[in-house]
Amino acid sequence: MSPLPRIVITGVGLTAPNGNSLAEFRANLLAGKARIAEIDVRHMGRQPAGVCDFDATRWQKRKEIRNGTRVGSISIWCAREALADSGLAWDSLDRSRVGVYLGITEHGNVETENEIHNISQFGNDTKYWTHHHNPRTVANNPAGEVTMNMGITGPHYTIGAACAAGNAGLIQAAQMLQLGEVDVAFAGGVSESIHTFGIFAGFKNQGALGSHPDPAKASRPFDRNRNGIVISEGGAIYMLERLDDALARGARILGEIAGWCINSDATDAVLPNPDRQAECMRLALRRAGMSPADVHLVSTHATATALGDVQECKAVREVFADCPGTYVNNTKSYIGHCMGAAGALELAGNLPSFVDGWIHPTINVEELDPECEVPGLVINRPVQAPRVDAILNNSFGMLGINSALIVKKYGVA
Amino acid sequence: MTKEDIKKVVLDIIADIAPDEDLSSVKPEVRLRDQLSLDSMDFLDIVMELRKKHGIEVPEADYVQLASLDSCADYLLPKFQAKAGK
């Protein structure tokens, strides 16, 4: 059996609460600039949340925006920006050989809540329920809106993977490229979750919704006084290609997908299991043919919940014991938890470290929780690493889904 | 309520549901679909907005009556008048 094709990243498009391009996002991460707003959430009052401010009209007609969904607009923005970043000759590309694979934590809650509110203004008469509801809420909506906007006729679907979805989208796309199902893939994760009160209320009643008088400090993974998740919207979509195709067109290669694993805790709906998380990281390393010391940066999933951060730190400590060249960081302290987009965005913010060697810190740590002490944890100030050849990106979610994705610098053995 | 008023009502709805369209020179006697980029979902939006904003019901069998601004005005005038007379 011949080896599977190698898969590389040749473009990135994103929108995060603190940046609408990788350059802007990266600059703010290195400068320690968080951006969390306070928004009105239906039935919930003011809540901290990460809000994106990209200009949807750059790539969509106003009617498209009106008829589609917020996450559809996020997806189109990210895909279009990824294409532009990749330098791919779009007009001459066979679009039946392009796939769109987007991770989502949830989809449809926003529109369903909106319509329930809408008909409540009309005595709950369902004849006022919009006919746009079904195309807006089908689970493939974000990916489907991308295909319609860009004239892509290859496969599209979303991957529902809770908050592991950003990694899952990339993994699915890499597999489809290796199988030869497509020649080019748009892959990543997206989220519109700040527009559904149900997500806020659910976390609130679970005792897991973060707060702070200063919204910019509300998300504080690893801090002793952390008190939960800040919900955010966002997206990151990558252009993935087989290495041979990328080289043939002289593409700039941002990184190579080296290994991955998705596994399941099979223990609890919401409480994480560090044994399975550690196993997930080890299996990803095995697939990549790497040892833990080959990874120079671990991008943690930690969401600033009391238990979740401790459990992940336990797993990371165990897998990366005796790895003095491995740094550990976190991105949610800047942008909150971008749900389905989290894993994809957090990887994106770290990718430039292959080139500049800087590790952005996790911020908002006023007093490190002793249970979150991890060797190599970069806190509050960036660190210049001797080298960054590989990043392991953790992304975990409810129902015990774990994902670890390893991306390595292209050209490193 | 006059036929001209009703044409303005319909144009205002179209301005909301098709915000990219130039409505400055819509010909009232020409089918809307022949001069604007409107699809079946847009016509359902017109029906929904007539219901929500004006309390006017358009049965499915009568959708064809919404083809042009003139036919809208002819069809909707008695409905608006009946509404006003209540």
Residue A47 lies in a domain: yes
ipTM confidence: 0.94
Identify whether residues A36 and A56 lie together within a single domain: yes
The residue of chain B nearest to residue A127, with distances taken between CA atoms, is: B48
Instruction: Tell me the chain B residues in contact with residue A66 when contact means C-beta distances shorter than 8 Å.
Output: 17, 19
Q: Which sequence spans correspond to the domains of chain B?
A: 3-85
The residue of chain A nearest to residue B14, with distances taken between CA atoms, is: A63
Identify whether residues A66 and A111 lie together within a single domain: yes
Instruction: Tell me whether A128 touches chain B (CB under 8 Å).
Output: yes
Q: For chain A, first and last CA: distance in Å? A: 22
> CB neighbours of A112 closer than 8 A, spacing ≥ 6?
A133, A137
Residue A106 lies in a domain: yes
Identify whether residues A285 and A240 lie together within a single domain: no
- In the predicted model, is pLDDT for residue A412 greater than 90? no
The structural domain count of chain A equals 2
Instruction: Tell me whether B17 touches chain A (CB under 8 Å).
Output: yes
Identify whether residues A268 and A242 lie together within a single domain: no
From the CA atom positions of chain A, what is the Rg in Å? 20
Other beta carbons within 10 angstroms of residue A338's beta carbon come to 35
Distance (Å, whole) CA A381 – CA A384: 10
A163 is catalytic: yes
Distance (Å, whole) CA A150 – CA A64: 12
Instruction: Tell me the chain B residues in contact with residue A122 when contact means C-beta distances shorter than 8 Å.
Output: 52
Identify whether residues A239 and A343 lie together within a single domain: no
A57, A67, A125, best to mutate vs chain B, most B CBs in 10 Å = A67
Instruction: Tell me whether B60 touches chain A (CB under 8 Å).
Output: no
In DSSP terms, which residues pair with A39 in a beta bridge?
Answer: A47
Instruction: Tell me whether B48 touches chain A (CB under 8 Å).
Output: yes
Query: Closest partner residue to A62 among B20, B44, B45, by Cβ?
Result: B20
Identify whether residues A136 and A279 lie together within a single domain: no
Q: For chain B, first and last CA: distance in Å? A: 14
The residue of chain B nearest to residue A129, with distances taken between CA atoms, is: B48
Q: Is the pTM of this model over 0.95?
A: yes
A337 is catalytic: yes
Residue A122 lies in a domain: yes
Q: What is the pLDDT of residues B42-75, one digit of tens each?
A: 999 999 999 999 999 999 999 999 999 999 999 9
Residue A84 lies in a domain: yes
Identify whether residues A219 and A73 lie together within a single domain: yes
Angle at A54 between CA A250 and CA A94, to 5 degrees: 35
Q: What is the pLDDT of residues A170-197, one digit of tens each?
A: 999 999 999 999 999 999 999 999 999 9
The residue length of chain A stands at 413
Residue A152 lies in a domain: yes
Mean pLDDT along residues A86-106? 97
Domain of residue A389 covers 260-408
- pLDDT-derived band at B84, boundaries 50, 70, 90: confident
- CATH number, position A297: 3.40.47.10
Residue A56 lies in a domain: yes
Q: Name the residue type at position A24.
A: E
Three-state DSSP at A75 gives helix
Identify whether residues A315 and A223 lie together within a single domain: no
Distance (Å, whole) CA B25 – CA A294: 67
- pLDDT-derived band at A2, boundaries 50, 70, 90: confident
Query: Is CATH 1.10.1200.10 the classification given to domain B3-85?
Result: yes
Residue A253 lies in a domain: no
Of A219, A248, A277, the domain-final residue: A248
Mean pLDDT along residues A268-280? 96
Question: Of these residues, A156, A296, A301, A360, which one is catalytic?
Answer: A301
pLDDT over 70 percentage in chain A: 100
Q: What is the DSSP string of A132-170?
A: THHHHHSTTHHHHHHHHHHT--S-EEEEE-GGGHHHHHH
- In the predicted model, is pLDDT for residue A1 greater than 70? no
Choose among A274, A312, A297, A300: nearest CA to A359: A297
